[in-house]
Amino acid sequence: MIKTKISLLATASLLLVACASNQTAQQAAPATPVAPVVATSPAPGMQAPESASGFTDKPGWAAKKFMVAAANPLATEAGYRVLRVGGSAVDAAIAVQMVLGLVEPQSSGIAGGAFMMHFDGNTVKAFDGRETAPAAATERLFQTAEGKAMSFHEGVVGGRSVGAPGVLRMLELAHKQYGRLPWASLFAPAISLAERGFAVSPRLNAMLKTEQFLRKDPVAAAYFYDKDGNPWPVGHVLKNPELAQVLRDIAKGGADAFYTGQIARDIETKVKSHPTNPGLLTAADIAGYQAKVREPVCTDYKTWTVCGMPPPSSGGIAIAQMLGMLETKNMRALTPVNGALNADAIHLFSEAGRLAYADRGRYVADTDFVPLPGNSPKALVDKRYLAERAALITDKSMGVAKFGVPPATTLALGIDNSPELPSTSHISIVDAKGNAISMTTTIEDAFGSRQMVRGFLLNNQLTDFSFDPVDANGPVANRVQSGKRPRSSMAPTFVFERGTKKLVLSTGSPGGSAIINYVGKVLVGTLDWGLNVQQAISLPNFGSRNGPTELEQGRVSDALVEQLKAKGHNVRVMEQTSGLQGIMRMNIHGEEMWFGGADPRREGIVKGD
Ligand code: GLU
């Protein structure tokens, strides 16, 4: 075993460096799509501000043995190189994450958190690398002196919103269990890119242009902007020697180098010394961080079993609830025709979404602090309960759904009002030995707390807590508490053939609380409508978060909007910048292959052999 690792280290070191070139992915035409999807471009000026890459049609990619899908071509390439030298899915995820933190710093990084679903061919595990609140945090963290909830950016920008980072401890824990290549070798692609520089992407450039707060941090300003305050242009070769050094330390010393030494002390200093909005995070909070392995939320949907992330994410439960309700309806009969969405399908999906989001707002938080009804996700995803909830769906929109009372509910809880704005990144990987991961990773808002330390950005994950600790119904489940993890919407998901442990799909997305709808769309698109994963990702986004019915701007017809209004929907046509990635098992020309998709709204690609 040790011998294998040493010889692999030599090969890995040779192959993992210098992945800045050769980004061409192996592409193949999708095989026998059931319903062709015409992915139209958005009308000029209608792209979401955070969607620098606009909408670029993507073909989908096929491979036989292994595959990686990530939100940036350099990150995908790093993962591909790991897989090619025999690395495991977890090994590849580490290399991908380290490169993402460098080239897509607005979305994720080593001072952020993540959730990772892992499948080893037999068992599914849910790794929790969510940030934690500092020991000194109280439920009044995001309250003004007058006892009102702060505005979102009042909470975000500065040290206040920074939680103890989780992603590195989580990856280390997963690597101990499922790593095949040596830890140090997995940092080589990111170190090399950070030293030699990487080309600023259109998306990073556009986000820097519209960003208001980042330049107020002198360290971030010096890194992201030129001396006149202009963001580095697309293609500018940006070097990050400070991050290279940090990554070298972590490669050598393990996650301890980040959690227990000078790096953690530097984070504390940055958090505490913010001139107007200091925070509470200490080096001791960081040193005390623990990644956790949790039981995934798995439920059957028709001929499949769908497994998702349990609390502190609400993603797995909400998606299981939506599918459980939709299972009682005939979604298959409502397949899009020539890419045009069916109004009845959007109606049912949005109504199921309303009901699921209502329960999410009331019940779901970090279960180490606040128990779910019945003390497990089971009550909320119980088929009988969901059938009762689904029976509330009529031909007319219900507008705003009320939470349900699942079996064994004893608590009176307030309704959470935490804002979640989109940033974040999703990675799906399958390796040659039948392991797979689905990992969603985040520093929360774009550019996190806008505080930069030693070449990386600090998260603002604590603003995923409810800013108000209590309402007329009682304490809010997702209120801030010392050491607690803020509730997430991230929904890294696996789908299996029911009863066989055969993985058929790994997918997930960024998008704040809309993640649940984005991922739900891909599940309905692939499982009910027979689309391949690229087609399902490319479908216009839609759904309701228990407010208006949201449709993706520039991608839906006026007729669809009118049909929904006629059913009583309060329709909001808006930017819906998902960043879906997915890998599915497909039969292509009689052969079983992996088929990957990347979101046309962002810069991702898929690569495999
Ligand atoms: N912080 C959010 C969550 O954990 C994710 C933000 C995003 O997707 O952009 O649910």
Indicate the burial class of 410 (C-beta count within 10 angstroms; 0-12, 13-18, 19 or more). Answer: exposed
Mean pLDDT of 265-294: 98
C-alpha–C-alpha distance, residues 275 and 137, integer Å: 19
Q: How many CB atoms lie within 10 A of CB 375?
A: 11
Q: Which of 207, 440, 459, 515 to mutate to test the pocket of ligand 1 (most atoms within 8 A of CB)?
A: 515
Instruction: Identify the band that residue 55 occupies on the pLDDT scale cut at 50, 70 and 90.
Output: confident
Identify the residue whose C-alpha is closest to ligand 1 atom 6: 512
pLDDT of residue 339: 82
- For 267-272, the CB contacts below 8 A with 24+ separation are 267/111, 267/162, 267/165, 267/453, 267/458, 270/159, 270/451, 270/453, 270/458, 271/159, 271/162, 271/451, 271/458, 272/159
Q: Report how far apart the first and last C-alpha atoms of the chain are (Å, whole number).
A: 25
Helix (H, G, I), strand (E, B) or coil at 275: coil
Which atom of ligand 1 is found nearest the CA of 130? Answer: 4
pLDDT tens readout for residues 209-218 = 999 999 999 9
pLDDT of residue 294: 98
C-alpha–C-alpha distance, residues 154 and 274, integer Å: 13
Residue 48 vs residue 353, higher pLDDT: 353
Summary count for the chain: helices (H), strands (E): 18, 23
**Is residue 423 lining ligand 1, measured as CB closer than 6 Å?**
yes
Q: Where are the domains of the chain?
A: 6-293+418-463+484-541+576-608
**Alpha-carbon distance values, 189 to 36, 173, 204, 397 (Å):** 38, 21, 20, 50
Query: Is the distance from CB of 338 to CB of 395 less than 8 angstroms?
Result: no
Instruction: Identify the band that residue 14 occupies on the pLDDT scale cut at 50, 70 and 90.
Output: very low
Cα(448) to centroid(ligand 1), Å: 11
pTM of the model: 0.91
Is it the case that residue 50 has pLDDT exceeding 50?
no
pLDDT tens readout for residues 88-107 = 999 999 999 999 999 999 99
Q: Which of 282, 305, 424, 577 is catalytic?
A: 424
Identify the residue whose C-alpha is closest to ligand 1 atom 4: 488
Low-confidence winner among 20-34, 423-437, 549-563 (lowest mean pLDDT):
20-34
Query: Is the distance from CB of 75 to CB of 439 less than 8 angstroms?
Result: no
Cα(437) to centroid(ligand 1), Å: 19
pLDDT tens readout for residues 98-155 = 999 999 999 999 999 999 999 999 999 999 999 999 999 999 999 999 999 999 999 9
* φ, ψ of residue 500 in degrees (nearest 5): -120, -10
> Does the annotation mark 424 as catalytic?
yes
**Is residue 424 lining ligand 1, measured as CB closer than 6 Å?**
yes
Supply the mean pLDDT for the chain: 90
**Is residue 166 lining ligand 1, measured as CB closer than 6 Å?**
no
Mapping DSSP onto H, E and C, the string for 118-182 reads: EECCCCEEEEEECCECCCCCCCCCCECCCCCECCHHHHHCCCCCCCECCHHHHHHHHHHHHCCCC
Instruction: Identify the band that residue 54 occupies on the pLDDT scale cut at 50, 70 and 90.
Output: confident
Identify the residue whose C-alpha is closest to ligand 1 atom 5: 512
Q: Please state which architecture CATH assigns to domain 6-293+418-463+484-541+576-608.
A: 4-Layer Sandwich (3.60)
**Is residue 318 lining ligand 1, measured as CB closer than 6 Å?**
no
Mean pLDDT of 200-211: 93
Mean pLDDT of 268-278: 98
In eight-state DSSP terms, residue 20 is S
pLDDT tens readout for residues 420-468 = 445 799 999 999 999 999 999 999 999 999 999 999 999 999 999 999 9
Is it the case that residue 20 has pLDDT exceeding 60?
no
Amino acid identity of residue 547, one-letter, is G
C-alpha–C-alpha distance, residues 198 and 441, integer Å: 21
pLDDT tens readout for residues 369-398 = 999 999 999 999 999 999 999 999 999 999
pLDDT of residue 95: 98
Bridge partners of 78, per DSSP, are none
Helix (H, G, I), strand (E, B) or coil at 479: strand
C-alpha–C-alpha distance, residues 585 and 593, integer Å: 6
Q: Cα Rg for the chain, rounded, in angstroms?
A: 22
**Is residue 514 lining ligand 1, measured as CB closer than 6 Å?**
no
Query: pLDDT over 70 for what percent of the chain?
Result: 89
